[in-house]
Structure formats: structure tokens, C-alpha cells
Structure 1
């Protein structure tokens, strides 16, 4: 007796297009300065027709996820967006230790910072002050995948992580067919980056990340004991801050922040 094949689970349900579009509008609004934007601006960013964007915004408003701003021509994120995040459980040390420390140091640092942890050959931004720094060129960086070998975050973690983690990460990167894969296969290049980073005491990149060529970033590892579990950076504009100012002002400040997070994370009870 013949039996019919069961359809793969992912084919049993169709995408709810309205929900996808509503989420696209929320993400776009979150990425705008201050989380505020109008219908025309959101339509341009999302590629969704203005009439549809207006309907979606009004639906989101009825659910408390956005609200009218000023004269009603603009919309802002509502309190319900934050309430939704309360069920999310991130890495405990990031939420409990790193995030408050980063906010406390923002006044002294001025420039924005990202805190990231490794994942599948990338550094994933877990916490950031981009959204509150007046000097930030980006407003939404949490969740962004940062390339490992050309960023200060990646270089800081690679230089101080456990040896087996470094070997495994470089082997994963070496399988890629792009420029990052080529770098990972160049043992001399990798050794030089790690040697220079350790000797300097912190990681640095000066525009090596092609999509951020105007940026100078410095990075320190976040460590428990001897080994890095993540990294934190400071993102500066090349044409605004001199190398001397980076070395004499910002490196000591970022080191203090990184050391504070590392010490508090190491000493905190973990269950």
C-alpha cells in the first residue's frame, strides 16, 4: 500500500505578509534618529507604498507599539515595544554588568561603543551606545555581524581567546571564498595581527573594514581569567580624532571600561 510523503514542516504555513511588513516598519523606525519618522520617510526606507505604511502605522498605534509625535505627522516607538523585550533573556553578564557600565562611561567617551561576542566566525553586537551617542553615525547596531579579521572587535577577541577557540574560528573562516577567507588562510598575516595586537595591548583598525573605511576603532577584550569571552570597541571618525588623541585619551578610558566589565563579570556569582 502506497503512502504519501509528509510535507516538510516549513512548507505547511505561508508567510503572513502583513506581519512581515509591520515588522519591517518597526525596524525602520527603530533605525531612524530618536526612533522617530514620518510616512514618506518610512516608505522610502522600507520600499513599501505610502498608503500601506500609513495603515501599518495606525495598526501599530492601536496596539501601543507606536504613537503620534508632535503634530501627528511623525510617529515614534511606543512603550509596548520595550515591554515586548522584557521576556528576552540575553547573556546575563551583558545585561547585568556590561550595559550599565557602557552607559555610565558614555559621557567620558563621547564616541559610541559596541560590545560583541563571537558567533560562527563573526562578532555579533550584543550591546551598544550608538543609539544614545551624539557622535554616532549609526543608530541601530545591535545584532550586526562584524567581520572577524578586519575589525577591532574581532582582533581583540582573537588575540586573547582560548587557543582552541582561535584555531576553530580560523579554520571556519578559511573555508570562505571571499577576502576574509583569503586572510584567514594567510598564516603570516594572522600571526602578525595577533602579535601586534598583543604587543600594543589593544586591537585597532584604521579603515581596513571596507564598508567602514572612514572609521578608526580601538578594541579591548572582555575576559574571565586569562581568556576573552567577548570584546568592546570605541568607534571614532578618522578626520576628527588624531592618532595621538586616540592613544593618550581614548585608549586609557576604554581600557578602564573593559577592565571594569571583566572584573565585575569574573567576580559575579553565576548559577
Structure 2
């Protein structure tokens, strides 16, 4: 290459490979060492810095109580929407009013991101700013949405497919039970076992004293102390030789049910039938129903019923979630039993 040609090439190429200009800035302290600053870095706006900050967190670090159920796997989601829902989930009955800093701490989002999302949520009445305060609370539009959601909730239709799966796992009849009035309950629905000898509920819709049988004991165990006292102050009639009619024994049984998260009945209401029941909770955390696994006592020993506990508890949690229950994993409601009772699967027939 000739000298003139080389000079021309260098004049063209030099700007392409020239490093970004660097200036020197000093810190406010006297005697501080100079700091090298790349002017290009100063062009990163606050949003980009916020996004960079959040990227350094573990993915999902801003998810709250409900959000851990959201998995990283699956279709890609809209991050802004996920963050907005995380802000809404930061509010609980115990934390009904929150400031920007509190929300940022709970969710792991930056304060600028929280503030920007709150502006959008407030515009749509999903949150509201409290009068004479910088705190926020959930907004009235959520009440309107909740009313629409409640109108489409039907316990039996929600529970049916889950009951069928539980029946398939246990191969015993699965029942759904709810309170009729303070002192009685009823059978709402059933999915029968495929076995020739099986439990079949014939009293669907009929009132049953709430203290009789495992499902009723579950509903009574999670009732108020005042209601328990009212029921136990009345006459407790025996329908089988094994019906518990001593008020103190019933009270002790209710305490065990609340501690364990499940109830057992061995021919306490129907001769020859043994039953396991666990509670179902709604969006407020109140127990509103019970799901049961029942069959002939000749096949369902205590050990075999205990082997069904984790599967019945899983079904109860699934139904409760569809009713809006958002309790923490491992809570006694709805129907989470201690690991110590989670027996072998499949349980051995005739085990005692």
C-alpha cells in the first residue's frame, strides 16, 4: 500500500476504533482521588438503572405470598404486569395500608418502579391513596371484580374434577360436605368408588347432626368456640354403638382435629363404614366445607386411612385455592396433615 493510500485509510478508520472519551471528575472530599467517568454511562436513564438493579436480584425476588406459586417455567409473561400484581399482593389483612418504601421492601422492587406502577394502578382504581396520607390501600375496582368472580363460583362444580382424581388415587368413595345451619350439615355430592363393596351416600341434601361422622367433626372443629359450646350443651344422640356422645370426649376430639388437620370416624355414624375428612377453606380463610374418603371398615383400617391423608389434603388445598384461599404452605387449614401421618402408598390392604 502506498504512503498516501495508507494515510487515507488511517484517517477513515481511526474514528471507528477510537475509545470513548474519558473525563476526570473529583469527589467532593478534599484530597480525594480522581474518578474516571465515561460520559456515555451518564446517558443511562433512571429506568435503565432500575431495570439493571432488578436484574441482579434472583428471578422472582419481587414475588409475594401468592406469587411463589408462579413458576419460572412455561410461557413468557409480561414483567410489568407481574410486578403490578406483586404490589397488589403486598397488601394483606394485617398490612391494609402501605407506603412506597414498605411496598418496595416487601416486593424487592425499586422505589421508583413502585411509585410508577402505583400511579397506573391508582388511575384504574386498583389502589387508592388514603386521605391526608402518603400510604396506599386496595381500591374499589377490586371489589367490583371480586363480586363478579364470586358470582361464578360454585363449590360443587369446582370440586367435582378434583374429587374424581382423589377417587382414582384411593379407589374409595369421595364425598363433599357443607354446613346446613349452625348445628347440622349435609352431603353435597359424591364420586363413588368402582369397587363392588363401597360407600354410597343416600342422604344427599338431608340434614345430619354436625357432631356425627368425620366430615361433621371437621366442620365443628373449625367453628367458633361459642358454637361448639352450643352444640355440646345439647343432647348428643347415638346413631351407632360407636357414636361419641360424651361432650368432653367430643371436645378433645375437636382439639385433635384442629391440631392434625383431619378427622377420622370408625362407624360413628353408619355401621360398617370408616371415613377420613379434611377441611376446605374459602378466600377469607374460613372453613366452609369438607372432603371425605369413605369405604367399608373391613377394608379401611386406621393405617390405611392415614395413608390417604396426604392425597385428601392435596385435594382440599386444590379446592380451597379455587375458592380464593391463599394460606401459606404447611398451614393447618386447609387440611394439611403432619408428615408423621403420611403413610406408605399404596397402603397395604388390611393393615392395622
Bigger Cα displacement from structure 2, 118-127 vs 162-171: 162-171
- The answer to whether the 8 A contact 1:156-1:197 is kept is yes
CA apart distance, 1:235: 0.4
Q: Could you say which residue in structure 2 is the equivalent of 1:194?
A: 254
Structure 1 gap segments, 5+ residues each: 1-89
| Gap change, CA 1:140 and 1:183, over 3 Å in 2 | closer
| Gap change, CA 1:118 and 1:168, over 3 Å in 2 | farther
1:239 to 298, 304, 317: 298
Establish whether residue 156 from structure 1 lines up as the match of residue 218 from structure 2. Answer: yes
In 1, Cα distance between the equivalents of 2:317 and 2:220?
17
* 2:173 partner SS: coil
* 1:153 partner SS: helix
Structure 2 gap segments, 5+ residues each: 1-150, 327-352
| Gap change, CA 1:177 and 1:127, over 3 Å in 2 | closer
Larger Rg: 2
How many residues are paired up?
Answer: 170
In 2, Cα distance between the equivalents of 1:235 and 1:127?
13
CA apart distance, 1:107: 1.1
> What does 1:2-17 correspond to in 2, within 5 Å?
none
- The answer to whether the 8 A contact 2:285-2:325 is kept is no
- The answer to whether the 8 A contact 1:94-1:127 is kept is no
CA apart distance, 1:125: 0.7
- The answer to whether the 8 A contact 1:105-1:257 is kept is yes
In 2, Cα distance between the equivalents of 1:183 and 1:240?
22
Q: Could you say which residue in structure 1 is the equivalent of 2:209?
A: 147
* 2:200 partner SS: coil
Q: Could you say which residue in structure 2 is the equivalent of 1:252?
A: 310
Residues 46-97 of structure 1: CA deviation (Å, up to 9, x unaligned): xxxxxxxxxxxxxxxxxxxxxxxxxxxxxxxxxxxxxxxxxxxx99432331
CA RMSD of aligned residues (A): 3.0
- The answer to whether the 8 A contact 1:94-1:126 is kept is no
In 2, Cα distance between the equivalents of 1:207 and 1:215?
5
In 2, Cα distance between the equivalents of 1:213 and 1:221?
23
- The answer to whether the 8 A contact 1:162-1:227 is kept is no
Residues 206-252 of structure 1: CA deviation (Å, up to 9, x unaligned): 1122xx1211101011112432111111102221133222212x111
TM-score by length of 2: 0.43
Q: Could you say which residue in structure 2 is the equivalent of 1:214?
A: 272
CA apart distance, 1:253: 0.9
CA apart distance, 1:162: 3.8
- The answer to whether the 8 A contact 2:188-2:204 is kept is yes
Q: Could you say which residue in structure 2 is the equivalent of 1:106?
A: 167
Residues 144-202 of structure 1: CA deviation (Å, up to 9, x unaligned): 4333223001111111134454445545xx1x48448x967x54223211112223321
- The answer to whether the 8 A contact 2:156-2:188 is kept is no
